[in-house]
Amino acid sequence: GEEEAAAPVSSEQRVNSVVLKQAALVSERLRSLEKPDIVIPGTLLSDAYDRCGEVCAEYAKTFYLGTLLMTPERRRAIWAIYVWCRRTDELVDGPNASHITPTALDRWESRLEELFQGRPFDMYDAALSDTVAKFPVDIQPFKDMIEGMRMDLRKSQYKNFDELYLYCYYVAGTVGLMSVPVMGIAPDSQATTESVYNAALALGIANQLTNILRDVGEDARRGRIYLPQDELAQAGLSDDDIFAGKVTDKWRFFMKNQIRRARMFFDQAEKGVTELNAASRWPVWASLLLYRQILDEIEANDYNNFTRRAYVSKVKKLASLPIAYTKSLI
């Protein structure tokens, strides 16, 4: 009836409209009409991409190894996107994060707009500028990621999962939307472009929820709680319980539900990964399997994510690579 017409748009609906826009962009291949040709000397450009590869190798080894199976052009583009995301994240989480102001994020956004118009500011920007000219990548997910950083400056609590979902989309789901146009969809795939984007989005959200569950103790020490307040209350928990950091039955019950939800997003993601271009599947599988294991580690630590950081050991990481590779071939 009347009430429904005025219902607020849920975060999932808002995000879905971005997904549809991305999917349309790929199917229409509009990029040649809108995107200017950048004139950057070739040697400079390949240096820029190499530098992006080095950063990726240093900070995301497993993911980097995964990218080496992709075609050179795709691999370089993924590195450029990775580096931009990392730099964006560093603004809020890096060594100078305590001095960061909304103005700095506005400046970063103008730089983003410039590089999308073929006017890069530095070497890393040049690599991304070339990437977005070559692939049907839209600026929206990049702007949304900056919006997620703004949210981080303003907000240290989330009322409910709807609010948290939007945050997870901004800071991590966006990465899926940036990457799919570069990774490409398998030529023989029967899936709709939209469904592949939705799977990439689900993987970003699953990874972010996993980060949040892994880092509860660390975040609490910084005065931040990224857990849905209403669900904490339903479990009979308060912020004080989290700051106190005691593993109780209430906490275990709450965590089980949070982990179940994250796994649901991983399952959603898994359906779409198989639709990606075969050579591009591998870094995605690697990240999916590794992040999934973090949830297992939290359980193995008896839900103590206050003082123990669940991490996947080197041996386990290496063991999961052949599995990821085998899965990527199926």
Q: What is the pLDDT of residue 229?
A: 97
- Number of Cβ within a 10 Å radius of residue 268: 17
Whole-prediction pTM: 0.86
**How far is 92 from 148, CA to CA, in rounded Å?**
10
In order of their start, the domains of the chain are 22-28+39-329 (1.10.600.10)
Is the alpha carbon torsion for 324, 197, 147, 52 positive or negative? positive
d(CA 307, CA 244): 11
| pLDDT-flagged residues of the chain (< 70) | 1-7, 26-42, 94-97, 312-330
Residues 6+ apart with CB under 8 A from 227: 158, 164, 212, 216, 242, 258
Full DSSP string of 246-269: ---HHHHHHHHHHHHHHHHHHHHH
CA distance 224 to 201: 24
pLDDT at 284 (0 to 100) = 85
Query: CB neighbours of 149 closer than 8 A, spacing ≥ 6?
Result: 88, 89, 91, 92, 105, 171
